[in-house]
Amino acid sequence: SCYFLAIDFDGADWKDDARSFAQSCIELNIPVSIEISRSGNGAHAWIYFADSVPARLARQLGSALLSFTCDRNRMLSLSSYDRFFPNQDTLPKGGFGNLIALPLQKKSRDKGCRVFVDEEFVPYPDQWNYLASIRYMQESDLKNAIMSASRNRHPLDLQYLSDDEKKPWESPLPDSKQIPGVLPKSINLVLANQIFIDKSGLSPTLTNRIIRLAAFQNPEFYKAQAMRLPVWNKPRIIACAENYPEYISLPRGCFDSLREMLQKNRIGAEIKDERTSGNQIAIKFLGRLHKEQKMAMSEMLRNEIGVLCAPTAFGKTITAAAIIARRKVNTLILVHRSQLLRQWQERLNNFLKIKQDDLGVMGGGKAKLTGKIDIAVMQSLSRRNDLFELINKYGQIIVDECHHISAFSFEKIVKQAKAKYVIGLTATPIRRDGHHPIIYMQCGPIRHIAGKSEKIPLQLEVCPLKIHSSGLSPDMDIQEVFHELIHNQNRNRRIAQDILTSYRNGRKIIVLTGRIAHLGLLRKFLGDEIENCFILHGRISRKYSRQIFEKLDELSNSAPRVILATGSLIGEGFDHPPLDTLVLAMPVSWKGTLQQYAGRLHRNYRNKKVVRIYDYIDYNEPRLIRMWNKRKRGYRAMGYQLQSVDDEFF
């Protein structure tokens, strides 16, 4: 709880910002006092409450007032939402929260600072008399004030608001209400690597609405706040618009929302297209698409930008190859791992009729781009000094596993591309950190969501196995719990027994864990019986991992095998179609991770009819039970049949 709300204004326009905020308060009959900050180059707006009020309500009031100010008077920086005192709804564990010095400190007051001022920023002659005259806000008026300021919208007034949407790609359309004030008949847009909007004739209100099309709540802020952790380094709002002297820029994926908003407010748009159309290439598709793939290709070709969301083993790479052949424009394919680069090389050589010299690569120790069809590892590309010139030779960009594009260095690459066509490919259009709006901003909206591939094995089953893991305590943090699981001999022995049983039955097994140390422990418990046992993790050399992949490919179709691997290396992009069994040696909870792991089994392969997952439930730890319940929902969503677990907890 708190007795006041303070908002900090600084920067070159602090006076105009503070004055506009105060005008909004006056218009809404909210008592506010403006104080010059200690430096003299900023101001604080103070709202005092008659009694202690929940910090959550006080901060909602501040957010609603800032949004009201942006919508009516003046466009404030979105970073203003991070400059509240208090700066979070609950007090951090073991701390005092953020602190602010109260007004009227003598040393500062003698310098003309830390004093209350009028609307012209002239100090009141009698500060103590002014302090005594301040009107306090009643808690009973707080909720009504929030409603009045937000006008029945969310106080943050953003395009993307929830990190827990069932369909996060279905972002709400812009506010359907007419934008108040005088609006231009038309605005000028330039389409290039971003959407550039000419500022000429834009009112502050219209500018505010445009900028908010590319902003979203930062879920990490709210998660940290809910856990009573400090939030000083976590912005409340992530803004992807940029401000230039003469233009506002939005990511390319905001075009549909921008057009919708302009149409609703009867504002025309003069569009200048500066995107790169690319060069025509001679190419032919040699493969055959199944029905779902044809539907996906058709939908993607109908749009210049967008994301194809399809499950693992759907054949996104083959579908993308068909799109390249249909458009016949030079294309750059972006991947985040050398392993994926090699897979793309193999697929394109198999499914496209092109000259050998027309397919180039960058990454994995090679750097030979042709300017026709090229595959590049993003880490290698991001280090190039000539990135802007290099990437803008292509008329089409395809981003594989595009959910990684939210990483800053990867986003920077796509952000500079002027390509007319941009396609994102992913099986998981959401991110654990909640930053998935960046995917849609850079690659465009999801255009097609494919169903389960016709070629996925018919029988999908999960074998849940209860384990009592000793040594666990509710006082342990989750990493300590994982450490205990890794070194629990009884648990490892049970996992090894299941691996050996499956191996003896001729199964092709992948064992995934989150710790490299766990791989060695499991290998010891397996003994010497397994002839074809391979260990893969991120610390082995590229040469050694390539040798392992070659050995796997050389095995006969019927040969059983065991791959012990870390999920971070193999859980995404790894392609070994014979796999039919997953042993989940460490618990996970996020559905995206589970989908990626299970997807290793879904590749079509001769005589593969049943895929099986062994899942270990450490039932004596509540947090691990909750993780199991999340996995259980994830399995059912993927069509898996769960064998029964006879226990009331499950």
106/184 same-domain check = no
417/481 same-domain check = no
Residue 572 has pLDDT above 80, yes or no: no
Query: Is there a contact between 636 and 650 (Cβ–Cβ < 8 Å)?
Result: no
231/349 same-domain check = no
CATH code of the domain covering residue 548: 3.40.50.300
pLDDT (0 to 100) of residue 174: 46
Least confident of 85-94, 396-405, 462-471: 85-94
Which ranges constitute the DSSP H helices of 212-280? 219-226, 255-264
Q: Give me the mean pLDDT over the 184-197 stretch.
A: 95
pLDDT (0 to 100) of residue 456: 60
pLDDT (0 to 100) of residue 68: 85
Q: What is the DSSP secondary structure assignment for residue 419, as one 8-state letter?
A: B
Residue 105 has pLDDT above 80, yes or no: yes
Q: Is 364 left (phi over 0), alpha (psi -120 to 50) or beta?
A: left
Of 157, 181, 215, the position where a domain reaches its end is 157
Residue 279 lies in a domain: no
Which helix (H) or strand (E) element contains residue 584?
Answer: strand 581-584
Residue 647 lies in a domain: no
User: Domain tally for the chain?
Assistant: 4
Residues 6+ apart with CB under 8 A from 193: 252, 392, 415, 416, 417, 418
107/178 same-domain check = no
* Residue 520: Cβ within 10 Å count: 12
pLDDT (0 to 100) of residue 94: 62
Residue 650 lies in a domain: no
Least confident of 86-95, 413-422, 528-537: 86-95
- Look at the pTM and tell me if it is higher than 0.85: no
Give per-residue pLDDT as tens, 114-162. 999 999 999 999 999 999 999 999 988 998 898 888 766 655 555 544 4
- CA neighbor of 440 nearest in space, from 250, 299, 265: 250
Q: Give me the mean pLDDT over the 503-526 stretch.
A: 94
327/311 same-domain check = yes
412/426 same-domain check = yes
- CA neighbor of 38 nearest in space, from 99, 97, 115, 98: 115
Residue 192 has pLDDT above 90, yes or no: yes
* Pairwise pLDDT comparison (558 vs 297), residue with the higher score: 297
Question: What Cα–Cα distance (Å) separates residue 384 from each residue in 341, 379, 401, 485, 570?
Answer: 18, 9, 21, 43, 27
Residue 648 lies in a domain: no
Residue 378 lies in a domain: yes
Residue 43 lies in a domain: yes
pLDDT (0 to 100) of residue 613: 95
* Residue 54: Cβ within 10 Å count: 14
Of 388, 417, 449, the position where a domain reaches its end is 449
pLDDT (0 to 100) of residue 172: 46
pLDDT (0 to 100) of residue 318: 94
* Pairwise pLDDT comparison (644 vs 202), residue with the higher score: 202
468/612 same-domain check = yes
Query: Is there a contact between 195 and 258 (Cβ–Cβ < 8 Å)?
Result: yes
Residue 496 has pLDDT above 50, yes or no: yes
Give per-residue pLDDT as tens, 207-253. 888 988 988 877 777 677 666 666 666 777 788 888 888 999 999 99
Domain assignment of residue 210, given as a range: 159-274
d(CA 169, CA 447) in angstroms, rounded, equals 10
For all residues of the chain together, what is the average pLDDT?
86
Residue 269 has pLDDT above 50, yes or no: yes
Q: Indicate the SS3 state at residue 104.
A: coil
327/440 same-domain check = yes
184/112 same-domain check = no
pLDDT band at 650 (very low <50, low <70, confident <90, very high): very low
What is the share, in percent, of the chain residues with pLDDT greater than 70? 89
Q: Give me the mean pLDDT over the 279-298 stretch.
A: 93
Give per-residue pLDDT as tens, 348-404. 999 999 888 899 999 878 889 999 999 999 999 988 888 899 999 999 999 999 998
Residue 542 has pLDDT above 60, yes or no: yes
Of 246, 274, 302, the position where a domain reaches its end is 274
d(CA 81, CA 215) in angstroms, rounded, equals 12
d(CA 430, CA 385) in angstroms, rounded, equals 31
118/93 same-domain check = yes
d(CA 448, CA 379) in angstroms, rounded, equals 28
Residue 649 lies in a domain: no
186/304 same-domain check = no
Residue 69 lies in a domain: yes
Residue 306 has pLDDT above 90, yes or no: yes
Query: Is there a contact between 103 and 115 (Cβ–Cβ < 8 Å)?
Result: yes
* Pairwise pLDDT comparison (513 vs 67), residue with the higher score: 513
Residue 197 has pLDDT above 50, yes or no: yes
Residue 180 has pLDDT above 80, yes or no: no
The amino acid sitting at 366 is K
139/288 same-domain check = no
pLDDT (0 to 100) of residue 629: 92
